[in-house]
């Protein structure tokens, strides 16, 4: 059985350019499968649609982790986090991305295209996709986030 990680990526118009760059500069260098949920241009769209889309695909377990991008990372993250299965973390550097995985078992990394540069975004994505959850004391805390068993 393949252990290849499956990634979903989504963005609004504010995150479109960074989404395309992440596909080129990150995904093409990693052993992953990925699906692009849009948007597919810089034409104005509403970020909640894309936050809900990425949350749904992760909840259905059709993808293991998600990368969600809007202007700040905030709006799309709020939308995704409305589902209790989702733990979306807005990160502005690779340390945050590492801790979001190690301590929070974040299943979505949210990025702000107006906030961070491409190099930082690529570092966040690479760290997020290659860092495992530490478990232990963090498991108990993460369980409390969704009011039930972690990961179900």
- Among 18, 63, 70, 91, which residue sits at the site for ligand RB5 (rule: CB under 6 A)? 70
75 binds ligand RB5 (CB under 6 A): yes
- Among 8, 14, 37, 107, which residue sits at the site for ligand RB5 (rule: CB under 6 A)? 14
Cross-strand bridge partners of residue 9: 36, 67
Minimum Å gap between C-beta 75 and ligand RB5 is: 2
Cross-strand bridge partners of residue 111: 69
Residue 71 phi, psi (nearest 5): -60, -45
| Dist. CA 136–CA 81, nearest whole Å | 23
For residues 34 and 51, which CB has a smaller minimum distance to ligand RB5 in the complex? 51
Strand order in the sheet with 108-112: 32-36, 5-11, 65-70, 108-112, 88-90
91 binds ligand RB5 (CB under 6 A): no
Q: Which residues bind ligand RB5 (CB under 6 A)?
A: 12, 14, 47, 70-72, 74-75
Catalytic residues, which ones? 103
């Amino acid at each position: 059985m393949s252990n290849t990680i499956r990634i979903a990526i989504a963005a609004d118009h504010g995150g479109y350019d960074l989404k395309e760059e992440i596909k080129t500069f990150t995904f093409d260098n990693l052993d992953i499968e990925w699906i692009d949920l849009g948007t597919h241009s810089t034409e104005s769209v509403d970020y909640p649609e894309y936050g809900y889309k990425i949350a749904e695909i992760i909840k259905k377990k059709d993808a293991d982790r998600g990368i969600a991008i809007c202007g700040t990372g905030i709006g799309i993250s709020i939308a995704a986090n409305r589902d209790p299965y989702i733990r979306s973390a807005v990160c502005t550097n690779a340390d945050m991305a590492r801790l979001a995985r190690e301590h929070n078992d974040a299943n979505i990394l949210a990025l702000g295209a107006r906030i961070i540069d491409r190099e930082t975004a690529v570092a966040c994505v690479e760290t997020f996709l290659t860092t495992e959850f530490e478990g232990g004391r963090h498991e108990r805390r993460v369980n409390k986030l969704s009011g039930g068993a972690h990961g179900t």
